[in-house]
Amino acid sequence: MSKKPDIDKFTGIETTGHEWDGIKELNNPSPRWWLIVFLASVIWAVGYWVVYPAWPTLSGNGERGGTKGSMGWTQYDELKEQQAEITARKAAYLTRFEDASFSEIQQNPELYAFAVAGGAAAFKDNCATCHGTGGAGSAGYPNLNDDDWLWGGDINSLHDTIRFGVRSSHDETRFSEMPAFGDMLGEAEIEATADYVLSFTTDAVPTDMGRQTYEDNCAACHAEDGTGDKSLGAPNLADAIWFYGNDRADIMSQIRKPKHGVMPNWEARLDANTIRQLAIYVHSLGGGEE
Ligand code: HEC
Ligand code: HEC
C-alpha cells in the first residue's frame, strides 16, 4: 500500500509527509559535514571502549566490575596518585615543622602559614564550641582575640594552657582556686569590696572598709592595683574586660561563691604537632604577646 510521494510544488523536493498548519517538512538528505562528524564520533567511541575502562562486565574483571581498557588507566588510580602527592607534600612540611622551634616557625613565612592553616582547622573542630569560631568567646569562655590573658599570651604559655588545660584532669594542669568568701566576710564587707573593685574601672567611690578588705583578702592574687596575676590565672580587674560580668551583682556573686572555669587538656586527644599549630594559631589571632 505505497502512497504516492508528496512533492513540494515550490522546490520540487519530496516532503516527509509531516505537516503543521500547512507548513511541510522537506525530505532533504543530512548535510555531508554532519554525516562526517557522526561517523567520526562512532569510530572515536569504538576506540574509546578499547582504550579506557568503559563497559560493565558480569565477571567484574576490571576496576569496579568493568573492562580494564588497554591503557590500564582509571580515575581511581589518578585520584590515589594525587592524594599520595598531597600527603607527601604535607609530610615534608610536618617534618620541617616538627624540627623547628616556635621562633624559627615565626620567622619562616611558609612554615608559619602552614601552622596557622592547620591550627585554624583544628580550632574549628575542637575549640570553637566553647571559644566561638573566631575565638571571640562568651561569658565564662575567654576571648582569645584580645590582648587580655588569664594565663599568659606568649606562644609558650598558650602551648602549656592548651596542652595541660585549666583545672583539668591532667597532672600538670594549670590550677588555682579563688576561695569562696561568702562565709568569711560579712555582707557589708562583700559590698564594700565589690565597690572597691569597681573603683578600678568606674567612678565608684571606694571606702576604707572596701580597700582594707581587698588588700587583706584579694590583693595576693589580683594584685594591689587589681591588675591580676597570670601565674595564678587571676584576672585583671582593672581593665574593661570581664570574664564573668561587670555588674556589682556579678562581682558580689563571684566573691561569695566563685565560678571556676574548666578548660580540658588536649594532650590526650591531639597529637603534639596539632597542639603546636593551635598555639601558633591562637597567638596569631591578634592578641598574642611576644
Ligand atoms: C569545654 C569548653 C572548652 C573547650 C572545648 C576549649 N576551651 Fe579553652 N578555655 C575554656 C575555659 C572555661 C577557659 C578559661 C579557664 C580559666 O578559668 O582560667 C579556657 C581558656 C583557654 C585559654 C587561656 C586563655 C587565657 O586568657 O589565658 C586558651 C589559650 C584556650 N582556652 C585555648 C583553647 C584551645 C586552643 C582549645 C581547642 C583545642 C580550647 N581552648 C578548647 C573552655 C574550653
Ligand atoms: C587564690 C587567688 C584568689 C583570691 C585570693 C581571690 N581571687 Fe578572684 N579570682 C581568682 C581566679 C583564679 C579567678 C578566675 C576564676 C576562674 O575562672 O576560676 C578570679 C576571678 C575573680 C573575678 C571575676 C573577674 C571577671 O573578669 O569576671 C572577680 C570579680 C574577682 N575574682 C574578685 C575577687 C575579690 C574581690 C577577691 C577578694 C575578696 C578575690 N577575687 C580573691 C583568684 C583569686
Instruction: Tell me the pLDDT tens digit for each residue of 133-152.
Output: 889 888 889 999 888 899 99
> Cell numbers at residue 19, please?
505537516
Ligand 1, atom 36, lies closest to the CA of 127
Ligand 2 contact, 176 CB (< 6 A):
yes
Say whether pLDDT at 61 is over 80: no
The amino acid present at 92, given as its one-letter code, is A
Of the chain, the percentage scoring pLDDT greater than 70 comes to 96
166 within 8 A of 149, measured Cβ to Cβ: no
199 within 8 A of 206, measured Cβ to Cβ: yes
> Where does the pLDDT of residue 129 fall: very low under 50, low under 70, confident under 90, or very high at 90 and above?
very high
What's the CA gap between 107 and 98, in Å, rounded? 15
Q: How far is the CA of 285 from the centre of ligand 2 (A)?
A: 26
> Cell numbers at residue 46, please?
569504538
What's the CA gap between 228 and 150, in Å, rounded? 8
The atom number, within ligand 1, closest to the CA of 153 reads: 27
Instruction: Tell me the pLDDT tens digit for each residue of 240-267.
Output: 888 888 899 999 999 999 999 999 999 9
Quote the pLDDT of residue 69.
84
What's the CA gap between 39 and 122, in Å, rounded? 56
